[in-house]
Structure 1
Amino acid sequence: MPQHLYILTGASRGMGLAMAEQLLQPGNALLCLSRHTHPLLATAALQADVPLTQWTHDLADGEGASARLREWLSRQNPQDFASASLINNAGVIPPITPLRQSQPADLSLALRVGLEAPMALSAAFLGATENWSLPRKVLNISSGLGRFPMASQAGYCAAKAGLDHFTRCLALDEALHANGAQVCSLAPGVIDTDMQVQLRAAAGEAFPDQSKFLQLKAQGQLSSPAQAAEQVLRFLARPDFGREPVADVRG
């Protein structure tokens, strides 16, 4: 029976790991790209009898990752799949500091992983599957910080803002084709992940908004990675997915 193919980046921790765990359901097939594989995922996939492939790949090398994905997809039989979805989840938060104190290497890494790699992977995914007649989706995991500016966060905010706008452009491209992919850049809400730990631990003098993140934690307003993953995957499964190219799980 044809399976639903999911290609997921940043699947080794946080919300990405939670999404991978929740996608290990009968009828699915999962390809994960992360800097590290996760042994518990392999065990869970065996128990669920779900095909799982884990690639170790640093997404700072978006060109290499996209070439690898394109080649892999070219060897697949589209008749084996009922649908295909790419979830660009991986991201990097550079050191929390004003731009004038930022290091070029840190800014470059944030943009490579958070913007360049999703663009390259989306191009590979859509190019390799353009003759597949099945439904295809691209889900880019964005952030409210791509839509609202924040001091000492220029690199991360720029990457997420770029992700949103490239998705708008991609939606226009795909709308020109009879079987174009449905695409969306989705903000997943505020999640208690390693990024939140970084934000709360930042030096107050370098990060004027630190108190806001401390307050979110203290008041229990953060979603767990599992809760956020469930919301994101529910959004991906909606029949109107892609109607708006930029969206938020909170509506």
Structure 2
Amino acid sequence: MPKNTPQHLTILTGASRGMGLAMAEQLLQPGQHLVCISRQLNPRLVSGNGATVEQWQHDLSDAAPVATRLGAWLQQQDGTQWASTTLINNAGTLAQLTPLRDADAADLAHALRVGLEAPMQLTAAFLGATRGWPGLRRVLNISSGLGRRAMAASAGYCAAKAGMDHFTRCVALDEASQPNGAKVCSLAPGIIDTDMQAQLRGADASSFADQGAFAQLHESGQLTSPADAARRLLAYLARADFGKEPVADVRG
């Protein structure tokens, strides 16, 4: 790798499969140092060709220790070496598809911890530890259209994504007043052919009224592949105006 290759640091959650894995693989370019945080390790993610990858195995339903580790690790780094430093909160989970009156309390808590609590804790650790770093600082939160449009039998997931959108708006206001404040965006990626989509179209139609609509999306070929969705998200992240709108949709 040429000595003048810019160095970039990216922390990515939920990188072991689906769209997260696709993003991780596309990020592994010369000069990139990628830290992947997932429940499972993936042997496909290896260092090489001028890129370095670390895999941290953590369950984000208990994110406080992960946030502490991330903050401590970042504080040990030389912030001047990175042209950009980015946190991508991609991990999420779908609670049981059922009306809230029938929901399991532990299942709801798990969905909210992974989908909202963990991104907030990791974002706090990231912003605190990189405060004062001279390079470009960014936070990309992977949201969903369901954070902006209610769907029956999906209160846990919808609430987590709506919360992600709104805490991103708050962080944008916080960072706007800081020297070299971070650019932040909660970005909806469109409809993607992932395990979550399979869960939606395979749900019990008697408790999830939209099951047929999701099945039709798959049957009619309207789902974006994880690789294509990853390319769109990373292209949006690379835009010069990233963060101008704290809540956005990759489809424009």
TM bucket (normalised to shorter chain) is over 0.9
**Count of residues paired in the alignment:** 248
- Cα distance per residue 1:204-248 (max 9 Å; x no partner): 111001111011111111000000000000000000000000000
TM-score (norm 1): 0.97
Determine the structure 1 residue equivalent to 2:95.
94
Mapped partners of 2:152, 2:79: distance in 1 = 46
Determine the structure 2 residue equivalent to 1:128.
129
SS in 2 for 1:40: coil
Residue identity in the other structure for 2:209: P
Determine the structure 2 residue equivalent to 1:9.
13
SS in 2 for 1:203: coil
TM-score (norm 2): 0.97
Mapped partners of 2:228, 2:76: distance in 1 = 35
Determine the structure 2 residue equivalent to 1:34.
38
Determine the structure 1 residue equivalent to 2:185.
184
* Cα displacement (A) at 1:19: 0.1
Give the gaps of 5 or more residues in structure 1.
none
Query: RMSD of the alignment, in Å?
Result: 0.8
1:210-249 equivalence runs, <5 A: 210-249=211-250
Mapped partners of 1:80, 1:239: distance in 2 = 21
Which 4+ residue blocks in structure 1 deviate beyond 4 angstroms? Answer: none
* Cα displacement (A) at 1:95: 1.1
Give the gaps of 5 or more residues in structure 2.
none
Mapped partners of 1:27, 1:52: distance in 2 = 11
1:21-170 equivalence runs, <5 A: 21-42=25-46, 45-46=47-48, 48-170=49-171
* Cα displacement (A) at 1:80: 2.0
Mapped partners of 2:154, 2:143: distance in 1 = 14
SS in 1 for 2:92: coil
Mapped partners of 2:171, 2:52: distance in 1 = 29
* Cα displacement (A) at 1:61: 1.2
